[in-house]
Chains A and B, each alone.
Chain A
């Protein structure tokens, strides 16, 4: 990142900065009138309820179709529960996902892309330990083509030997790329720290596991696991919900199975534990990742937990970022969020800091965790978090793609559009007492486990002095 002297040519002699030294910073920061009052908020209009349908088709597929005109597009999201317990499952499902749109009985790899492109369409498939996700969009006029390609991939993907072998090689390369990223290293370490060898931790297969995958195993997995019963399809856009469901019913008529799609095994509850220091030689920055048990959206205390998390580190105006970024300058970003799985939820606290201030940042994180329970959020903090939660939800739902993704994420765990639209009212009911109760219960430092990834040569002494960290 250094530049040679040769490149550092002189700027033009008439640079604007040379002539501009008329005022000092103090003079710039003051006007004759002085500080002005903050304008009040006006009355907020709420959006109308969109026309929609939410039903389970005969083949067991749950379909939610929402009309949101605006631009002539349709957004598509599909979740197929795709968990497995076998050691080989992760690698097989990754290869399956990368070859799902690489050719069908009727279409070559190129034809899949060309047919989608003609209607301004995109479709992609990804997989994780919990589900296979198909995500796409197309011009409204090409909705039938998008559905046709989807149905074709679900029912007639060929996973040809040549494509499987080519994608195996690419996957190995991509996995090497991913494993070199500090955030991936930290994520995999956190998963192991939280859940040991549980299938939920298998987010990235080993290269050796990819090498063992055969085309036959991929095709077999497709037949067994790629099933409608228990799956979810969300469509949002310039569509008629009834006509969209009719089109899906027709296009996906051939997608049938008596099997139920496979949900993840129950996930054990998290308990407090020391952090694990993971050595990354010569790292100039460390990843801090802490986690504790949370609550699913179905829990009556969930709205209070959501707001407590916001007040802690869920947005910029929260205690943790205001402390370790805006006061101390230890980090570019400090966040906390609630991560859901089919059986519950966890809280994750996440920041990256320079090696030399890593232990100091951990000290501040623990301090803020403890303080959230002992000195709970004020009425002002509660109101701010509440308005942000409601506003951000409304902003997120104001575009087709945002509404599709928001609705999809809650519907994946059994909620629906009415739950989303009713959520502001639930947030409005949360009291200071509610938020204090969940803050003390879910943010106590003793309930957290986690990892620190960084240069152990520098970090070990600092972290040993602080305590509560297992050194390598």
Chain B
């Protein structure tokens, strides 16, 4: 096996007087910069009766601020040659842009202006409620397998409102959102001390430091909310639920397992990440070679840690195994094959070659992902905010390389069938599905 070089992140940290944590990572290899702001609030923090509010509020943060009319944010980023977006996850909301290096100060100005004084009004709120409803129709209501599994599985695996509710939100809740809700949400969660600013790319460290101080330095300090724990006990039995999807042509299932806490049990979480790759990364991995190719009982199968990606949430987090299969195949046959493969790993472990293949794929994927400045910047911001160390964003290959066959076996052993959730999709368009 060839020697695999290790990626290194050279991060420069500071904390402003207002509490804003800043991570700078200069990299002159291409004349572009990326700026990301991660706020420590996601859809798990939404109050009852306001499902989808964190995401709706993310939309509102693009609607203008004291120095910027509606539409100005988009126009200034794109009119400077840049691209932008935002996203809302369980435990964070992020805003980011990538631009030619000449627009660095402008990007910092745009992010600081909305951190300091966003424009929140009735007209923009109603407009963005409509836009978000269209987003939900597009991604959930009008398509087969909409919200599978990230919206559909949590209410089976989890009990608390925080962990189980739909992060996109119910239309009735979205429609009831008020300007006062928005103001309270901003004041509670969007304090500079509740955020991480990450800047990567083609800039000089001193210049970057000065520009950050110039634009973010006078954002007023505000109280930072005490972060609640979202921990809840594991299920004490297997839980099953079925979702009828009238648009789906084939049955599907998602199995959800609770993961070790990535912060208090980094090794345990990492073992599960390695296991998920052993199970489903590539044609030769355990689940595809058995279920897709040998038994020929599923169309596709996959496994992964986190609903969006690994290390993308605090505890509690979820490992999922998903499969789509022909109507003629019984659900329990698919589940039994998955269980059998997991049990085999738990009993026999994996070969050295299997381990090194998995590590090599993760290393390459990390190099490739982080070669895109936007991906690297966002990964550093997430790891700094959620796990306290931006460097973690590049350490997974090294952590995985330190794992043994016994570690993978232990991770497989930890996937207890009597503490998991199984969601099945019953297709409504199934009668037209092809037979085996």
Q: Which residues of A contact B (CB under 8 A)?
A: 1-3, 7-12, 14-17, 19-25, 28-31, 33-47, 70-73, 101-102, 109-114, 116-122, 137-139, 141-142, 166, 169-170, 172-174, 176-177, 179-182, 207, 282-285, 315-317, 322, 325-333, 352-354, 383-384, 387-388, 390-392, 394-395, 397-402
Contacts and interface: CB of A to CB of B under 8 A. Distances in A.
B364 A139 contact: yes
A12 B32 CA distance: 44
Contacts of A142: 2
A139 B75 contact: no
A182 B126 CA distance: 27
Contact of A45 (B31, B161, B168): B31
A453 to B, nearest CB: 10
Interface stretch (B128-136, B266-274, B311-319, B341-349): B128-136
A120 B30 contact: no
A395 B98 contact: yes
Given A121-B364, A170-B292, A177-B299, A41 B102 contact: yes
B189 interface: yes
B11 interface: no
Nearest to A31: B117
Given A25-B179, A36-B109, A384-B79, A139 B4 contact: yes
Most B CB within 10 A of own CB, among A9, A19, A34, A328 = A9
Ranked nearest first, the 4 interchain pairs of A and B with the lowest CB-CB distance are A391-B81, A120-B364, A329-B130, A398-B30
Interface stretch (B18-26, B87-95, B138-146, B409-417): B138-146
B155 interface: yes
A248 B228 CA distance: 57
A334 B210 CA distance: 39
Nearest to B1: A118
Interface in B64-121: 65-67, 70-71, 74-76, 78-84, 98-106, 109, 113, 116-121
29 contacts: A8-B48, A15-B47, A16-B45, A19-B188, A20-B184, A21-B183, A36-B67, A36-B109, A41-B102, A44-B31, A73-B367, A113-B282, A113-B284, A117-B357, A141-B2, A141-B4, A142-B2, A169-B436, A170-B300, A173-B250, A317-B71, A331-B131, A387-B78, A388-B78, A390-B81, A391-B81, A394-B31, A394-B100, A401-B368
A11 B109 contact: no
Interface in B186-242: 186-189, 202, 218, 225-226, 228
A384 B78 contact: yes
A139 B147 contact: no
B284 A117 contact: yes
B326 interface: yes
Most A-side CB within 10 Å, residue of B31, B129, B180, B353: B31
B84 to A, nearest CB: 8
A103 to B, nearest CB: 10
Contact of A3 (B155, B226, B371): B155
Given A8-B48, A16-B226, A117-B282, A283 B250 contact: no
A3 B170 contact: yes
A110 B188 contact: no
Contacts of A173: 250, 299, 324, 326, 433-434
A24 B121 CA distance: 10
A176 B432 contact: yes
Interface string B237-249: 0000000001111
A180 B74 contact: no
A73 B29 CA distance: 15
Given A17-B184, A400-B368, 9 more contacts: A11-B47, A36-B113, A71-B371, A101-B283, A109-B283, A119-B364, A169-B296, A285-B134, A317-B79
A327 B71 CA distance: 10
Given A139-B360, A139-B363, A29 B66 contact: yes
Contacts of A40: 106
Given A113-B283, A114-B357, A38 B76 contact: yes
B32 A166 contact: no
A42 to B, nearest CB: 5
Contact of A38 (B106, B147, B250): B106
